[in-house]
Amino acid sequence: MINKKFGLILAAGILALAACGEEEQPAANDATEVEEQESAPAEETAPEAEEEMPEEDTEKEESAEDDAEKVADEAPEAMSGAASALLANGETTSFVFNEAGEFSIFCEPHPVMKMTVLVEEGAEQMDEVAIDIADYEFVEETITVAPGTTIVWTNQDQVQHNVAIK
Ligand SMILES: [Cu+2]
């Protein structure tokens, strides 16, 4: 609110000054100057508040990143050699894919079970993506996700599977 007011006063002041530069109106000019002087204390605080605004936004973004990091903490980062525990029927596991690139996924007890995760900047799938493991297969053969996506696998089979990264 203060910023808007200040903006209006500033805009009015600039307009008045610009107008005064062209047509000499001493009376109107004096009135404008007095007005500006009266509102000076408010102006002194307003620019600071305006400058602080972006910092606050940055802090908000950082806290959003912190939240994302918390999610990432829950799901281990996808990297070569990583593997989940064996999943019983209905159990889930997840990895977060932060790095762009290609990840070959397989099931350790059944190495024929494979899928590929492509991590690409600007991919439509993001945040959290669910993939079932059913009938000895990863339901998606290849999936493209944006960096930072957490993929959650759910074992729908009665046999145990896991999710390993080559
Ligand atoms: Cu398996």
Residue spans of the domains in the chain: they are: 2-74, 92-165
Whether 98 and 73 have beta carbons less than 8 Å apart is answered as no
Q: What is the pLDDT of residues 106-131, one digit of tens each?
A: 999 999 999 999 999 999 999 999 99
Q: Is the pLDDT confidence value at 9 over 90?
A: no
Q: Which residues pair with 151 in a beta bridge?
A: 95, 129
What spacing in Å lies between the alpha carbon of 103 and ligand 1's midpoint? Answer: 17
Q: What is the pLDDT of residues 64-122, one digit of tens each?
A: 445 444 444 589 999 999 999 999 999 999 999 999 999 999 999 999 999 999 999 99
What is 109-122 written as a DSSP string?
S-TT-EEEEEE-TT
What spacing in Å lies between the alpha carbon of 136 and ligand 1's midpoint? Answer: 6
Report how far Cα 129 is from the mean position of its chain's Cα atoms. 16
Q: What is the pLDDT of residues 12-52, one digit of tens each?
A: 444 344 444 444 444 444 444 444 444 444 444 444 444 44
Closest CA to 138 of 118, 153, 126, 150: 153
What spacing in Å lies between the alpha carbon of 116 and ligand 1's midpoint? Answer: 15
What's residue 74's pLDDT? 81
What spacing in Å lies between the alpha carbon of 135 and ligand 1's midpoint? Answer: 9
- Reported as a pLDDT band with limits 50, 70 and 90, residue 153 is very high
Whether 102 and 77 have beta carbons less than 8 Å apart is answered as no
Token pair of 75, please? 């799901």
Q: How far is it, in rounded angstroms, from Cα 126 to Cα 133? A: 20
On the CB side of 163, how many CA atoms lie within 13 Å of its CA? 28
